[in-house]
Amino acid sequence: MTDGPDLLHLKDFLPYRLSVVSNLVSRVIASSYEGDGLKMAEWRVLAVVAEEDGLPQREVVARTRMDKVTVSRATQALRERDFLKSTPNPNDGRSQLLTTTTAGRALYQRIMPQVQALDARIERHVGDDQVRELKALLDNVERAALSVLPL
């Protein structure tokens, strides 16, 4: 294999690196909730809805950047386990508003301190200044990606 201008070096390819690091951090965080039988998509949906009850599913899709089918399956699984409920959206008869149930809120409140502790451990290794800089850089990358292909 020759090293030429057409060769892609994944270690230097930003989308690849972001994906790998995101997957790794997500796996670390998953240790907080996988014992409860939650999948990654289910935790993300539960966390978004717990942060702001009464969201339509399309807003969960927008906030998580997960595809509609993944969010729909995760939402259905959470409903079946009585962690989420849906009610008709008074502003849009075609959609439902998602809210946490008492069991869903309790699960979120039990898991969240573990998630926050793992996040804090990762951030301690990086340092406060670099974490702030990284968050600003991620905001910039997100805006740049949206300017290329609005989602």
70-99 per-position pLDDT tens digit: 999 999 999 999 999 999 988 887 889 999
Residue with tokens 């008492």, as numbered in its chain? 102
Residues belonging to the chain: 151
| Residue 2 clears pLDDT 90, i.e. is over it | no
In the chain, the percentage of residues whose pLDDT exceeds 70 is 95
Q: What is the mean pLDDT of residues 15-31?
A: 94
Among candidate residues 40, 36, 18, the one with its CA nearest the CA of residue 28: 40
Q: Are 78 and 84 in contact (CB under 8 A)?
A: yes
pTM across the whole model: 0.87
- Each residue of 62-99: b (16+ CB within 10 Å) or e? ebbebeeebbbbbbebbbebebbbbeebeeeeeebbbb
- Identify the structural domains of the chain with CATH numbers, from first to last: 12-146 (1.10.10.10)
- Where do runs of H (alpha helix) occur along the chain? 14-30, 40-51, 57-64, 68-80, 102-126, 128-148
| Residue 4 clears pLDDT 60, i.e. is over it | no
| Residue 36 clears pLDDT 60, i.e. is over it | yes
Angstrom distance (rounded) from CA 39 to CA 85? 18
User: Cβ-count burial of 57 within 10 angstroms (0-12 exposed, 13-18 middle, 19+ buried)?
Assistant: buried
Per-residue confidence (pLDDT) for residue 45, from 0 to 100? 98
